[in-house]
Amino acid sequence: MRKHNIALALAVALGLTATHAAQAAVTAEQAERLGRDLTCVGAERAGNADGTIPEYKGLYVGEVPGWNAEPHSGAHPIDPYAADQPRLIITAQNVEQYAQHLTEGQLAMFKRYPDSYRMQVYEGRREFAYPEEVCERVKWNALNAELVDDGLGYSGLGFIPFPIPQNAMEVLWNHQLPFREWTQDEIRDIAAVTASGSIGWGRARGRCLSPSNDLSPGVRSSTSDPVSAYCITETLLPQTERGNISLAHEPYNYRQGARTAWSYNTGTRRVRLAPGYGYDQPLGGSNGLMTIDEDRLFNGAPDRYDWKLVGKQEIYIPANGYKLQGKEVRYDQLLQPNHPDPQFLRYELRRVWVLEATVKAGARHLYGKRRLYLDEDTWHAVMADNYDSRGVLWKHAILNYYYHPDISAWMSGTSFFHDLNSGGYIGYALTNERERAGILNKGDMPASMFTPDRLRAMGR
């Protein structure tokens, strides 16, 4: 009875009719697979044939064994798998044995750094689950969500709209709007590491509100709302950019309304509208070495690319990366020349959705082609191989995720963007040496704080 009432309430809230439901992305029979042979968000529940990918277990909801911090306190993660030992270690000497499970970017890393680069591969762990409320909304989306405006928007509830995707744009929207944190306040360090090992430091404070991830009673965020997410980013380092602030409103539909952004510059002490904000503009605090749309490997409007769904593959990806996020890891240990110290990264063999984006004729972007790898269990992109305008591999990027009890979902942690030309890399969203990690789901950020007037008041 409870599930029936929830489904009915959602339909009423969105003003959807039976006619609309008949145009659903999948049939009722297909949707019944969710929670059965598929997890409630669409991953294959079974392991693979040779047992190197385990069956999904979903043992824990909103808890991580051994991590008993005060909720919403910004506590650094505790590794529940600290006793695990690598099942195998891939090096330049044995990489050809495992090439079928590696991306072009990963293979390039072994070729460029044969003496130091390695991947420690651990037993797969699929032990964490989403709350029932998330599962119910995702199933509703499976039956009702639709792409609109040539895939530049969709109609439905606010996260994971297409758990059984049929094309590239449906997969991309799952990445754009996975279920994740509702509110976030985090100070992130950004390290630009040269090939020699010298480091240029950046730092930024990000405060974000994503109403679509609010599970509060009676809240049903949908694409009928004007904004899917709000973010204020204040640059703290480098000193030359200190005090610059940006504000962005993210839409559900990029044709009906572009990302709206404002910027405050300490030099002029004025708030200005920032037209065309995003894409390959430099990310604040990154010393100009990251683009705005590289945060989470891809974000923002997809309109400059043609998107292709390559399919599913079994790939070694970063997973359950608690060790990398730990407070005991010091930057001088982690940030080695050419790439981070491999001892701190955990890889597992997992199934991933592979998306390929190629710049449209007449459009412009630093990256002529991008290939994204999305973990099937979470819909988050965890790796990216980026190519220049000639189609030559340029960067290999990885993003570390871990299940966080404050959000009952997977949290975006530290990411690394390796420049295969220069030998340098960016360490982004580092929090190990901060007093606190991100404060998540405290629920203390109303939409009213994300306005140009608030931005003006913050300026100094």
What span, in angstroms and rounded, lies between the C-alpha atoms of 236 and 230? 20
Distances (CA, A) of 385 to 13, 289, 306, 369, 370: 41, 16, 16, 8, 6
Instruction: Name the residue among 206, 207, 201 with its Cα closest to residue 189.
Output: 201
Tell me whether strands 153-155 and 183-193 are parallel, antiparallel or unpaired.
Answer: unpaired
> What CATH number has the domain spanning 60-84+125-458?
2.50.20.10
What span, in angstroms and rounded, lies between the C-alpha atoms of 199 and 195? 10
> What kind and span of H or E run contains 412?
strand 409-419
What span, in angstroms and rounded, lies between the C-alpha atoms of 108 and 398? 14
Instruction: Name the residue among 360, 325, 318 with its Cα closest to residue 103.
Output: 318
Q: What is the full per-residue pLDDT of the chain (460 aa) written as tens digits? A: 334 344 434 443 444 433 333 345 799 999 999 999 999 999 999 999 999 999 999 999 999 999 999 999 999 999 999 999 999 999 999 999 999 999 999 999 999 999 999 999 999 999 999 999 999 999 999 999 999 999 999 999 999 999 999 999 999 999 999 999 999 999 999 999 999 999 999 999 999 999 999 998 888 888 998 899 999 999 999 999 999 999 999 999 999 989 999 999 999 999 999 988 999 999 877 878 899 999 999 999 999 999 999 999 999 999 999 999 999 999 999 999 999 999 999 999 999 999 999 999 999 999 999 999 999 999 999 999 999 999 999 999 999 999 999 999 999 999 999 999 999 999 999 999 999 999 999 999 999 999 999 999 998 6
Q: Which positions ≥6 away from 5 have C-beta within 8 Å?
A: none
